[in-house]
């Protein structure tokens, strides 16, 4: 058995995650382009399709995005006619985001994205489930180590 070098680049989980992230997002680009969405915009729309409407704060928490990063995304989605941003009637300080009818209709076109991506990545649903489970354990552990 060969000696393992713990400082070898290929042994670093951070390297594998960074490369995988860049490559997967790049693979999404051509699938999302016909929908008129970037990958971050797609993640926003997925969240809104699932929840219907969310405050900017809750959307930011769900996506693990800083509100300063999220705000320009929402402005572009609003300009494209896919979301609306309105003040909450209950609390004027709260900005609520919801899909517009056009944004809701886009969901139907987006239904092909997951299957297309599974095929592009050479994965089946069990691979996806297992990969997601490992990645979410990593996310949770990393989050805990940062907040401790």
Condensed to tens digits (0 to 9), the pLDDT of residues 60-85 reads: 999 999 999 999 999 999 999 999 99
Q: What is the pLDDT averaged over residues 122-128?
A: 95
Q: What is the pLDDT averaged over residues 52-65?
A: 95
pTM for the full predicted model: 0.91
Q: Which long-range contacts (CB under 8 A, 24 or more apart) does 7-11 make?
A: none
**HEC letters along the chain:** CCCCCCCCHHHCHHHHHHHHHHHHHHHHHHHHHHHCCCHHHHHHHHHHHHHCCEEHHHHHHHHCCCHHHHHHHHHHHHHCCCEEEEECCCCCCCEEEEECHHHHHHHHHHCHHHHHHHHHCCCCHHHHHHHHHHHHHHHHHHHHHHHC
- The percent of residues in the chain predicted with pLDDT above 90, rounded, is 89
Q: At what angle do helices 67-79 and 39-51 cross, to 10 degrees?
A: 80
Where are the domains positioned within the chain? Answer: 36-95
Q: Which fold has domain 36-95?
A: Arc Repressor Mutant, subunit A (1.10.10)
pLDDT at position 89, please? Answer: 87
- The per-residue pLDDT for range 30-39, each reduced to its tens digit, is 999 999 999 9
Which residues fall within 8 angstroms of residue 17, CB to CB, at 6 or more apart? 138
pLDDT at position 71, please? Answer: 94
pLDDT at position 147, please? Answer: 78
pLDDT at position 1, please? Answer: 56
| Mean pLDDT, the chain, integer | 95
Q: What is the pLDDT averaged over residues 89-117?
A: 95
Q: What is the pLDDT averaged over residues 30-54?
A: 97
């Amino acid at each position: 058995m060969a000696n393992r070098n713990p400082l070898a680049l290929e042994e670093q989980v951070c390297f594998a995650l960074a490369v995988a992230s860049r490559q997967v997002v790049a693979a999404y680009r051509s699938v999302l382009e016909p929908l008129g969405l970037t990958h971050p915009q797609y993640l926003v729309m997925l969240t809104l399709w699932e929840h219907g409407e969310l405050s900017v704060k809750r959307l930011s928490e769900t996506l693990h995005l800083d509100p300063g990063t999220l705000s320009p995304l929402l402005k572009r989605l609003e300009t494209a006619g896919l979301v609306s941003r309105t003040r909450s009637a209950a609390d004027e300080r709260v900005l609520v985001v919801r899909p517009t009818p056009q944004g809701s209709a886009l969901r139907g076109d987006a239904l092909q994205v997951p299957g297309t991506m599974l095929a592009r990545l050479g994965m089946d649903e069990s691979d996806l489930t297992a990969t997601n489970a490992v990645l979410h354990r990593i996310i949770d552990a990393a989050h805990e180590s940062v907040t401790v």
